[in-house]
Structure 1
Amino acid sequence: MKKFIISILLLLSFFIVNVKAEKLPEVTDHEKVTIYIFRGDGCGYCGNAIEWFYNLGDKYDDYFQVITYEVWNNDSNAILLEEVAAELDVDISGVPFIVLGDKFYVTGFSPEDGEELVDVALEEYQNKKYKDIVAKISKEISDDLTKNKNKDNEEIELPQSTSLYAAAKDEGFVVDNSSDTAAILGISAVVAIVILGFIVITRKQN
């Protein structure tokens, strides 16, 4: 009997711990936290990060968003990465380079890294002193480039972010089923017409 009670208590404690882990903060008027992924086109770890966050769905949409910057083929994005790294006083050794508030992550990417980032994002959502340094530096760069354009009247390229959905689509994680859906609807319509015709013919024969 004693062992049975202990087993029940262990099961209850396990259940309570898991319920607690799933509990999300209260949604407030705090701005959404942003997780920035500086990535390279074709980078495997970058793709892992994008796929992992994309697969979260909309569970955390009230708390944070994910924005990406491709830096291998976009000079302005590369400059933004350099400026952010300088602000954080860190040397960039590769991508993905992930920034959240004033925190950064420079290693590869694993599901454990993703879970840690989600936890930090939820904490930052409740942090009244949260600072989005990437947004701040991006605005400064854009303002400077725009000012220089007005002086020299030259074409400029501002940092260009990509949404998580667009990045996931670029990486091939988003499947476009529109053509399949259209085909199914077309077949369904044909079947419905055939059935309707059969019913009409049957009634006439009767």
Structure 2
Amino acid sequence: MKLLATFFVIFYSSVIFAQDYFDKKVLDSITKNKHLNKDMSLCPKDLFEGQEIEYQDLVEECRSDQRWCLSKCLSKSANHCIGLGHVYVDMENSPQYSRRLYAQACKLGIVNSCTNYAAGMLRFDEGSNSRCYAETFRFTCSKSDEWGCMMYGMVLHKGIGIVRNDSKAILALKKSCQIDEENEACDYSKSLASKISTINELRANDGQ
């Protein structure tokens, strides 16, 4: 199942694992690797090179052998990059690690990783790149990433990096469920859509 790991860290309580859980040599390699650092200034939607790769859940494999997983990532295995990114997203001060890995997986063709990378920008960049991540969510939604649609609906509703538009937000949230009704993204989309409808009904009643 595709997930938006950064979303849970942003909006919900998340377990922060002990530092000893992580391979410090791998963490050091990630921050120093020129290959992983060179694209960090680019917007996620501009990283994507056009060849989509099917997502495979390798989180547990990467959790148990982080060095092997990084080696596979550096050999241009997109799913190992996003898998290791998901492992590190729960780590305190994780952006310097997980975002480099999400950026690489995004570049290599995993659309959901572009969404995760942009979600990290939403969490940590404090609005400095709001237009970039709003455009990224629009892009990943257009590529039928259910989490991308959920996040696009959210930024449309809040007016983050884009003109606020609840009508378009509802459409994006509905699309999230059309893509995969069983994914948790649909649950969050339904909840937000209901909230938007309630707010608009109250405003309409106040205007009577």
TM class, shorter-length? under 0.3
More strand by share: 1
More helix by share: 2
Return the index of the structure with the highest Cα Rg. Answer: 1
**Of the two structures, which has the highest relative contact order with CA contacts closer than 8 Å and spacing of 6 or more?**
1
